[in-house]
Amino acid sequence: METGNSYNYPPNNVRVTQALAALIAGDKSSFYNCNFLGFQDTLLDAKGRHYFKSCFIAGGVDFIFGAGQSIYEGCTISVIEGVIDNRLAGFITAQGRTSPNDTNGFVFKRCKITGAREAYLGRAWGAYARVIYFKSVYEATIVPQGWDSFSSTGKE
């Protein structure tokens, strides 16, 4: 199965805008060997418990985002080029945990991070954002800082 957004794509010197490839909000959803292709906000992992196995997810800015409680296992995460300023790094995740008591967060287990441009592993979208990369391989250039607080003090 392949899902992709095509709004303003391919970019012909126009501003690329948000267009979801998929929104997952049900509980106990699973995806095996699926492709999610987009640029900004590709996969909205909104809420619920989800499992992604051997999937390919591509984007440039906040392309895996939301407040789901999800495991991404053996997935390939690809940071693509876009029409935003290529001197700026992309962001793989924007996790939306808003309370220290929330159980949500993203776990990337044995994933391969690839890409054509530099990227942060994630940025804070919620005050208590939680993202874990476990036994993953990084072929893309990751910004040494790894995480960006997105100009919000206390979200480091």
**Active site positions, annotated:** 41, 62
Contact indicator for 110, 136 with CB cutoff of 8 Å: yes
Going across the sheet that includes 56-59, the strands are 2-4, 35-37, 56-59, 76-79, 112-115, 137-138
Rounded Cα–Cα distance for residues 154 and 55 (Å)? 33
Q: Which residues of 47-79 are buried (b: 16+ CB within 10 A; e: fewer)?
A: bbebebeebbbbbbbbbbbbbbbbbbebbbbbb
Report the DSSP beta bridge partners of residue 123. 94, 148
Whether 129 and 91 have beta carbons less than 8 Å apart is answered as no
